[in-house]
Amino acid sequence: MINLRVSAESLEHAIEAAMNVRTNAYAPYSKFRVGAALVDADGGIHVGCNVENASYGLTNCAERAAVAAATAAGRRDIVLCVVVTDTPVAASPCGACRQVLSECNPAMDVLCTTPGRSDAWHRLDDLLPYAFGPDSL
C-alpha cells in the first residue's frame, strides 16, 4: 500500500497538470506523448513533457523535463511524480528517468496513469532498487 504524502486536492491538481502538459509534448517521431507532474513538499506542481529531436538520441523524457523545471524553481523535495501516457495500461518511467527522479527523493511515490485513469501506484525505490545515488560516491 502506498503511503500517500500529498492531499487529495494536490493529487487531483497534479493529475490534471500531467494530463494537460502531455498535450504539449513534441513527439513527431514516436507519436508517444508523455506528461509528468512533480509535487513538492509544499504542494507546488512542476510539469514536463517529452521533447524529441530529429537526432533521435537527443530526446528528453517528460519526467526529466519535470525534474529540470522543479530544480529551476528551487525545489528538489519531490514527494510524488505523476506520469500520464495515452496507453490502455499505464506505462512506468524509463530507467534513465528513474535514476534522475531518484536523486530528488528515492522514496517518492509514483502514479502512472492514463486519460481513462488506469492507475498504477509505485514507490520509486521499488522501481529502482539499489539505486546509485549521492551516498554511493
Task: Please select the residue that binds ligand THU; options are 2, 73, 89, 94, rule is CB under 6 A.
Answer: 94
CB burial of 7-33 (b: ≥16 within 10 Å; e: otherwise) equals eeebbebbbebbbebbeebebeeeeeb
Task: Please select the residue that binds ligand THU; options are 61, 67, 69, 104, rule is CB under 6 A.
Answer: 61
Q: Are 51 and 25 in contact (CB under 8 A)?
A: yes
Task: Please select the residue that binds ligand THU; options are 84, 90, 97, 127, rule is CB under 6 A.
Answer: 97
| 37 is a contact residue toward ligand THU (CB under 6 A) | no
**Residue 7 or 118: which CB sits closer to ligand THU?**
118
Q: Which of 9, 12, 63, 103 is catalytic?
A: 63
Cα(16)–Cα(14) distance, integer angstroms: 5
Locate all alpha helices (DSSP H) within 30-123, ordered by sequence: 62-72, 95-104
Query: Is 63 one of the annotated active-site residues of the chain?
Result: yes
| 107 is a contact residue toward ligand THU (CB under 6 A) | no
Nearest 5°: the CA angle 82, 117, 128 is 40
Residues that bind ligand THU (CB under 6 A): 27, 30, 32, 34, 50, 52, 59, 61-63, 93-94, 97
Catalytic machinery residues: 63
